[in-house]
Chain A
Amino acid sequence: MTHLHLAVALDGAGWHPGAWRDPLARPAELFGARYWADLAAEAERGFLDFLTFEDALAVQSSRWEGPDGRTDQVRGRLDAVLVAARLAAVTSAIGLVPTTSTTHTEPFHVAIGIASLDHATSGRAGWRPQVSGKAADALHFGRRTLPVFAPEEYGTGAVAEVVAGLFGEAADAVEAVRRLWDSWEDDAIIRDTDTGRYVDRAKLHYIDFEGRHFSVRGPSITPRPPQGQPLITALAHDVVPYEFAARSADVVYVTPHSVADAHTIVGAVREAERTVGRTGAPLRVFADLVVFLGPAAADRKDALDELDGAPYTSDALVFTGTADDLADLLSSWQETGIEGFRLRPGALPRDLHHITRDLVPALQARGAFRGAYAEDVLRTRLGLARPANRYAPAP
């Protein structure tokens, strides 16, 4: 069995909305650094590829349309880029991949934030650009209005057009960010004492990005990040987002519910790559799974469901079972062309501990997972070359 990649998605007390009531949860600490540092340390003990950090420019809700006023679930979140940055100096190997909105942020700010995370981690930063489609969230910014629609309407009529517009803007945002990362050549800082020049301005580039929603002149104020281009990842469930990922990302997270489903989705991702004429390395396809692990996993999920008042469902498959069962499932999915997995722990820190202490050893025993960190930078860990700078003359 070939090696697989393993990432963990961190969000609050875990992905189950009742997770904070798990006896091992640390719900009073969700807004403090120690909680996140402990999770990251645990993930590093398991040699995980990277951590992702969920985010949104809104409060969590059980309703898609907007806030629900519930007080029995985790509400409130910290800015994901800054949480990741807080972990930079207290971790040494794991990749850190925060989420940001492409709809309500400035590509320039995002570009320098992620580049700074990459500098602070010596090449372990990634980014997950995310579209914000909710009308309620747009009111937080007051710059544009979005129509009220339900997620089921995504692909239909006028909504499809709005959604395509948001993904178009997201692609523009990624393009502007990527150009900003390249706007300094790697050797732009020359410190030439003879001429008194700190930089060689021939190696700094205006990006002159013009899109429908914004334009950015450049160059960045932040020198090119250590990875050249930090790892870009995107979650996708349908053709439009697959094509966005194919255009813009290095890694795509998908949500198959079975082996057959995984086959179909991998096919759809490859098709999207052809549609957009992707050049360079093919997308690394990661499958997302919500996981409750351990001998009593199903009972634990049931108990949380009961406390929360409803059975928990997800866009991704919700797995309950032992680490060995999960290892079996991962290897069967791997055969469909899925190269990695992003596990969403049902409850934190409990299910993360099961991942690092049970699943990882089970995979190692099958020769399917590393036993030490080998690569320094995140891109390399995923087998991606350091990208050439688009503005630099060919060597």
Chain B
Amino acid sequence: MGRQIHLAAHFPGVNNTTVWADPASGSQIDFASFAHLARTAERGKFDFFFLAEGLRLREMKGRIHDLDVMGRPESLTVLAALAGVTTHLGLAATVNSTFNEPYELARRLATLDHLSDGRAAWNVVTSWDAFTGENFRRGGYLAEADRYNRAREMLQTARELWDSWDDGAILADRESGRFVAADQGAFRHAGPQFDISGVFGTPRPPQGHPVIIQAGDSEEGREFAASDADVIFSRHSVLEEARAFFKDVKSRLAKYGRRPDDLKILPAVTAVVADTDAEAVEEAARIRRAQVSAPTALAFVEGVWGRDLSGYDADGPLPDLDPDPGEGVSRGRAQFRGDRAAVARRWRELSEARGGLTIRELVIEATGRQTFVGAPGTVAEQMDDYVQTRGSDGFILVPHLTPTGLDAFVDRVVPLLQERGSLRADYTGATLRDHLGLSGPRRPSVREKDA
């Protein structure tokens, strides 16, 4: 049997992936939408359902960005509710490590794991900016360089808290009158980020530790994933790049005493499925045009150029101005954090190389592409090859429609992957760790280790 494909479903959120103007697009906030997508993913035997997070509404030019879906629920709350309408599907919450405290976050994640019988995952993100910090007690004090220091220590502390209870500590033994084993929950953590002590109030979660996902891409991010994560959510979906990323990250594991299979690499991808390859290609192009309307295209270019370009025509050429080297006009977005001038240069070159792409054509070209496009058989074959040739361990599918965006994939492609033997016909385990083929938590309870 070949390598098994791991699949996850991303609930489409606050960016221009979501084609909210499509007549088939439903509510982005009603629970029914979350339930539909989660049930669809479970029908497709996906490993998990994934929610992103952003703790401040995005802004453009000092005003709330109004072109994309805005608004979403708190991840852990909606996932706890989804635990009531699913039975096997993993439930992955993106939760920021900068604007949370370990005691509270560790118990919320442990709670989700208890309430779902071992299906919880935490995508540890490290956004640090003062802009987001304005919504929190700590404000924006954290320097960019410190964000992974805090993330690492946050995760380490959370693990200490989860480990502060033994597995099986709840005895509930009427005969002996003992509800709980002795000395549960005591912890003391003294580090640069957290100096805390006391008794943790929540029994060890069923998975020991919820599954840890990491999404950063920098050198530090890759090391963090190699040392500490179970899954990496990658943005490298183009096959050659994905293979390079796969090789790079997997090669980092050995020095942490880990095997390549201990970290699953799952890039965010799209799948456009139609009756024929030609129809799918046409549909994929239609979706890209819908994702990048004229105002959205201009907003992207403004984000890169760092200035107001509202006088420009999206169907005309790129501005001949140079990018503004200042602060920029886009806030609350992970993109374009780096060197905007370099991005602008690349975009200009790309436009010229293609014989002068318009602003909108360029943005369609430069900001994303459809990963798998074709008839069901084509898509299944491409996906399978991608995983067999070590582009990834599987995929996080990002649909462009809420909540029905994965229906066609699950109905038409999943059975073909199952026929190929690359996707499970049914769940073989109960927990998310089981689905991902991960052995128990990376560390046993410290207390067991001592014993």
Chain A residues engaging chain B, CB cutoff 8 angstroms: 20-21, 27-28, 30-33, 37, 56-60, 66-67, 69, 71-79, 81-83, 85-90, 104-106, 108-109, 112-113, 115-117, 119-122, 136-137, 139-143, 184, 189, 191, 193, 195-201, 204, 213-219, 221-223, 307
B73 to chain A, nearest CB (A): 4
Most buried by B among A32, A83, A120, A204: A120
Bound Cα distance from A86 to B31, whole angstroms: 12
Given contacts A200-B66, A221-B56, contact A20 B172 (CB under 8 A): yes
Pair A89/B70 contact, Cβ less than 8 Å? no
Pair A140/B196 contact, Cβ less than 8 Å? yes
Contact bitstring B313-325, A, C-beta under 8 A = 1, else 0: 0000000000000
Interface check B144, CB cutoff 8 A: no
Pair B81/A72 contact, Cβ less than 8 Å? no
Interface check B254, CB cutoff 8 A: no
Pair B137/A213 contact, Cβ less than 8 Å? yes
Contact bitstring B92-115, A, C-beta under 8 A = 1, else 0: 000000011101100110111011
Pair A191/B77 contact, Cβ less than 8 Å? no
Chain B residues engaging chain A, CB cutoff 8 angstroms: 20-21, 29-31, 35, 54-57, 63-64, 66-74, 76-78, 80-85, 99-101, 103-104, 107-108, 110-112, 114-117, 134-137, 139, 165, 169-172, 174, 177-185, 194-203, 293-296
Q: Which of B21, B180, B196, B199 contacts A71 (CB 8 A)?
A: B180
**Can you name 19 A-B residue pairings with CB atoms under 8 Å?**
A20-B172, A57-B201, A59-B201, A67-B198, A73-B179, A78-B107, A81-B80, A87-B84, A88-B31, A89-B82, A106-B100, A116-B73, A120-B78, A141-B104, A196-B293, A198-B68, A198-B70, A222-B29, A307-B177
Given contacts A37-B84, A71-B181, contact A198 B69 (CB under 8 A): yes
Bound Cα distance from A37 to B112, whole angstroms: 15
A59 to chain B, nearest CB (A): 4
Pair B200/A59 contact, Cβ less than 8 Å? yes
Pair B137/A120 contact, Cβ less than 8 Å? no
Pair B117/A32 contact, Cβ less than 8 Å? yes
Query: Which chain A residues lie closer than 8 Å to B82 at the CB level?
Result: 89
Bound Cα distance from A141 to B195, whole angstroms: 8
Most buried by B among A71, A83, A88: A71
Pair A82/B112 contact, Cβ less than 8 Å? yes
Given contacts A33-B83, A198-B69, A201-B66, contact A77 B202 (CB under 8 A): yes
Given contacts A108-B55, A184-B71, A198-B20, contact A82 B64 (CB under 8 A): no
A147 to chain B, nearest CB (A): 16
A252 to chain B, nearest CB (A): 25
Pair A222/B179 contact, Cβ less than 8 Å? no
B341 to chain A, nearest CB (A): 28
For the complex of A and B, the 4 pairs showing the least CB-CB separation, nearest first, are: A116-B73, A27-B172, A85-B80, A217-B134
Bound Cα distance from A189 to B25, whole angstroms: 14
Q: Which of A69, A76, A142 contacts B201 (CB 8 A)?
A: A76
Query: Which chain B residues lie closer than 8 Å to A60 at the CB level?
Result: 201
Pair A189/B71 contact, Cβ less than 8 Å? yes
Q: Which of B69, B112, B171, B199 contacts A59 (CB 8 A)?
A: B199
Pair B182/A71 contact, Cβ less than 8 Å? yes
Bound Cα distance from A91 to B69, whole angstroms: 29
A382 to chain B, nearest CB (A): 23
Given contacts A76-B203, A86-B83, A217-B134, contact A106 B103 (CB under 8 A): no
B71 to chain A, nearest CB (A): 4
Closest to B85 in A: A89
Q: Which of A83, A116, A140, A217 contacts B74 (CB 8 A)?
A: A116
Given contacts A113-B77, A119-B31, A198-B68, contact A106 B136 (CB under 8 A): yes
Q: Which of A86, A214, A223 contacts B115 (CB 8 A)?
A: A86
Bound Cα distance from A40 to B80, whole angstroms: 15
Pair A117/B77 contact, Cβ less than 8 Å? yes
Most buried by A among B76, B84, B195: B84
Pair A198/B67 contact, Cβ less than 8 Å? yes
Bound Cα distance from A189 to B70, whole angstroms: 8
Closest to B22 in A: A193
Query: Which chain A residues lie closer than 8 Å to B172 at the CB level?
Result: 20, 27-28, 30
Most buried by A among B135, B172, B198: B135
Bound Cα distance from A360 to B99, whole angstroms: 45
Given contacts A21-B177, A72-B179, A82-B80, contact A59 B67 (CB under 8 A): no
Q: Which of B31, B101, B165 contacts A104 (CB 8 A)?
A: B101
Bound Cα distance from A69 to B178, whole angstroms: 12
Closest to B183 in A: A69
Q: Which of B66, B70, B81, B203 contacts A85 (CB 8 A)?
A: B81
Q: Which of A213, A214, A219 contacts B57 (CB 8 A)?
A: A219
Q: Which of B64, B77, B171, B203 contacts A116 (CB 8 A)?
A: B77
Pair B64/A204 contact, Cβ less than 8 Å? yes
Query: Which chain A residues lie closer than 8 Å to B74 at the CB level?
Result: 109, 112-113, 115-116, 222
A176 to chain B, nearest CB (A): 10
Pair B31/A137 contact, Cβ less than 8 Å? no
Query: Which chain A residues lie closer than 8 Å to B103 at the CB level?
Result: 57, 104, 140-141
Pair B77/A81 contact, Cβ less than 8 Å? yes
Closest to B299 in A: A196
Query: Which chain B residues lie closer than 8 Å to A108 at the CB level?
Result: 55, 135-136
Pair A106/B81 contact, Cβ less than 8 Å? no
A137 to chain B, nearest CB (A): 7
Query: Which chain A residues lie closer than 8 Å to B200 at the CB level?
Result: 59, 140
Pair B35/A112 contact, Cβ less than 8 Å? no
Pair B107/A218 contact, Cβ less than 8 Å? no
Most buried by B among A59, A66, A109, A213: A109
Contacts A71-B182, A88-B31 known; 6 new A-B pairs at CB < 8 A = A20-B172, A28-B172, A33-B83, A33-B117, A79-B202, A143-B101
Query: Which chain A residues lie closer than 8 Å to B111 at the CB level?
Result: 78-79, 82-83
